[in-house]
Amino acid sequence: MDQARPSSTYGHLAMQYRDPADGAAAAKLLSALGFHECYSMPRADSGPFWHFVLDKAADGGTDRIVYLMQMPSAVRAVYDEIGAKLAGSPAVATMRAAQASDPELGFHAAVLVHSLDELEAMVRRVRALGANDPDLKGRVRVTLNRARPGTPEVDARMDASPVFGDVTQYTYGPNGVQVFVETDALIGGPMGDNWVFEFDYVFPGYDENILSRPTPRAPARAA
């Protein structure tokens, strides 16, 4: 590989919402998650369109974009038929129960963040929206995985965390945390009725980590 060649980056992620009324709720949630809104505009044939970027530092660029738009009617019709045909399906119920305990089981997108303080603040914002916001109340589920024990300084930070301190679920490997945010305001997955974002943080000094750089030396479990 030519080491002088710049690395490619992802251009955009196209997110969809189901009904026009869901657009503003989805945009509000994306903002609370830390995505930076660049602009929005009405569309004659559907609900509004939004242009977000991964964070404010990406504003004005040509990559790290998140588009938000209403689901096209042709796609909506397929998902509606799937929902009708599989209503009451034991297999669907089993899948939902499995995803409730392990949100990364299905389709999701992950963001690697570089500040644990900012990640904790994001969790508090999103939980507040899910509990109190009229557009998102009851529509957001947050699942946390704290770092596996075994690194004293990481363990101390976890114990002192206002967000992760009482969490009993752990990541696959040590020295990092995971936050999963599931919502039905965004559409994805096999049933077309929810979406999962994952937010990861890796403690400094542990770059070879299963969450960020899964090399053969990155432990999957704490020793």
Distance CA 216, CA 208 (A): 9
Banded model confidence at residue 101, pLDDT cuts 50, 70, 90:
confident
How large is the average pLDDT for residues 2-9? 74
For the entire predicted model, the pTM comes to 0.90
How large is the average pLDDT for residues 3-11? 80
**Cβ–Cβ < 8 Å for 198, 212:** no
Distance CA 128, CA 105 (A): 25
Domains of the chain: 12-202 (3.10.180.10)
**Cβ–Cβ < 8 Å for 178, 211:** yes
Best CA proximity match to 185, nearest among 145, 143, 126: 126
Residue 148: is it exposed, middle or buried by C-beta count within 10 angstroms (0-12/13-18/19+)? buried
Distance CA 106, CA 113 (A): 21
Write out the two tokens for 62. Answer: 């040509």
* Digit-coded pLDDT (tens) for 48-67: 999 999 998 888 888 999 99
**What's the pLDDT score for residue 215?**
67
How large is the average pLDDT for residues 82-105? 92
Banded model confidence at residue 153, pLDDT cuts 50, 70, 90:
very high
